[in-house]
Structure 1
């Protein structure tokens, strides 16, 4: 009896040692994974601020908090456990799911680009007597949060998938620790920086007050003047990022395209910045083309089902 208990305690102690050794490797794995997903993190940071543009400034941080909270919950409660389960039971399904997400990003990115070039044309010709939908600030805020969380879900899925692929050969304890650490760290980093961006104009106004040093006031006024242009630029960057990331996700799921991208990068390896820029431009153009194709398919499907519905009622 005593010997059996001692053997059990030895097994427990050995398990604890293995777990501790695995956990010692977690910071290294987190750092490694963060480097791999840095491009997606930048994209997420660039996309998010546009969701609070035009809303009540006093609600900006509250809206970002809502998005951040839902983003973290999605990563921790749904995406990380799903990655672990799929990685164990059906690893083959992860890539198709990510490719669907990439296609959605291309579609949404194309719609943003299309609206940029068509809004002035639409303004010139007027609404043609169409009814104007009146939206309250609360409804608009809810729509923005929903849209932001939907886009974030795609990017978060890619982050979690890359994280899992990095630690797939590690012990289960390490996989869990790294997945949850990356989820918390990246969410805090992205939305902390986004909060700083959207409140930078308020910081500038505070610095520009008369009770501060002239140089401080000058910097504050510069921040206030610069931020609207910066936010506008960030909106364009965010749209381009949707197309770039979406197309890159799809390319990595299709061996021929993935190898072509890697070949292009290797051919420009001596100039890393040029290699990165070339890949980003090629992916963005490819994403725009794919988004246009998807938009045509979606439009056709909507018209088809709408006409079918009318015919059924008739």
Structure 2
């Protein structure tokens, strides 16, 4: 009886070791995958606060929570199963899918830049102005969740490409960890951003002069922070989208552009002491340049199509 119990305990210990090793594999894979997706995460964090701005303070955090739940639903119910099916039955489709998503990011960034230089910034449509607060909130949340679906799709695809050589169970675990951790991280930061002005207003009533000064500074800084977030989000879209396209071209043997980007990065990386930083910056700039060209071409074609249809009619 005792020997049987000892054998059982040995088996349990062995299973525990295997489980621990598997968890280590999952955690390691998730860490690498999350690092690879960092650029899209920056973009997601920069884009989302705009959807919660303009509402009464008591609705800002509930709106962020609704978007976060929608984001998690996107990842867990739709994107995760789709990614695992793709990995199991059509792994060759991962790179083209990444390039398609990267092209969309480049297009979105190019559209924002074109609007900024042309002076045609987005304004509230008459139909939007006629909506009730509840209807407008629903429209904004739905729009944010749709945008998040694209960005989350890129995050999951980049993560999948990073762990594609792992067993399917490790892939699934890594994608779940990445999806949950990124959702919590992104929307935690977004919640803090949208409440910064309220925190500043509260601090402006503090008893100490330093607290009041810091509170007023936070309130005044919010418009600048939002402008910077828009700029950072656009830059991240170009850098990430262009980088995905460059790596995709290299994957398919279309090497002139990837070789040019690598040569530029290598040349910039020769600066003594800061070569790693200048080399990385050069690669990011080269990727952004590729992204701007791709996004500009797509935007130009899409803007020309309505004009051609109008002329045909």
Q: Taking structure 2 as the reference length, what is the TM-score of the superposition?
A: 0.81
Structure-1 residue corresponding to 2:23: 23
* 1:213-224 mapped onto 2 (5 Å cutoff): 213-224=208-219
Q: How does 1:299-310 map to 2 (within 5 A)?
A: 299-305=303-309, 310=313
Deviation per residue, 1:130-178 (Å, 9 max, x gap)? x955532445434433443333223222221222233222233222111
Instruction: Spell out, residue by residue over 1:226-261, the C-alpha distance to the aligned partner (whole angstroms, 9 max, x if none).
Output: 121111111122122222222222222111233433
- Structure 2 stretches of 5 or more lacking a match? 1-9
1:180-219 paired onto structure 2 within 5 Å: 180-210=176-206, 212-219=207-214
| Cα deviation, residue 63, structure 1 | 2.1
* Counterpart position of 1:157: 153
| CA–CA separation in structure 2 for the residues paired with 1:239 and 1:110 | 8
Match of 1:230 among 217, 220, 225: 225
Q: 8 Å contact 2:94–2:161 — kept in the other structure?
A: no
1:121–1:147: structure 2 CA closer, same or farther, 3 Å change rule? closer
- Quick check: 1:264 aligned with 2:268? no
Q: What CA distance in whole angstroms lies between the structure 2 residues aligned with 1:104 and 1:120? A: 21
Decide whether the 8 Å contact of 2:57 with 2:198 is kept in 1.
Answer: no
> Contact 2:197–2:222 at 8 Å: present in 1 too?
yes
- The corresponding residue for 1:172 is 168
Quote the Cα distance in structure 2 between the aligned partners of 1:276 and 1:94.
25
CA distance in 1, matches of 2:168, 2:19: 9
Partners of 2:101 and 2:212 lie apart in 1 by 46
CA distance in 2, matches of 1:115, 1:306: 22
Alpha-carbon distance change, 285 to 83 in structure 1, aligned in 2, over 3 angstroms: same
Q: In the aligned structure 1, how far is the partner of 2:213 from the partner of 2:248?
A: 50
- 1:197 Cα offset (Å): 1.0
Q: CA deviation at 1:118?
A: 2.2
Query: What is the TM-score with the length of structure 1 in the denominator?
Result: 0.81
By how many angstroms is 1:185 displaced? 0.3
Of the structure 1 ranges 233-242 and 179-188, higher mean CA displacement relative to structure 2 is found in 233-242
Q: What is the correspondence of 1:1-314 to structure 2 with a 5 Å cutoff?
A: 18-119=18-119, 132-135=126-129, 136=131, 137-210=133-206, 212-255=207-250, 256=255, 257-269=257-269, 271-305=275-309, 310=313
Question: How far apart, CA to CA, are the structure 1 residues paired with 2:302 and 2:108?
Answer: 12
> Would you say the 8 A contact 1:106–1:246 is kept in 2?
yes
Over aligned residue pairs, what C-alpha RMSD do you find? Answer: 3.0
The 8 Å contact of residues 47 and 233 in structure 2, kept in 1 or not, is answered as: yes
The C-alpha deviation readout for 1:18-73, integer Å capped at 9, x for no partner, is: 44421233223222322222222222212222233334443222222222111111
Unaligned 5+ segments in structure 1 are: 1-9, 124-130
Pairs aligned (count): 292
Q: Which residue of 2 aligns with 1:7?
A: none
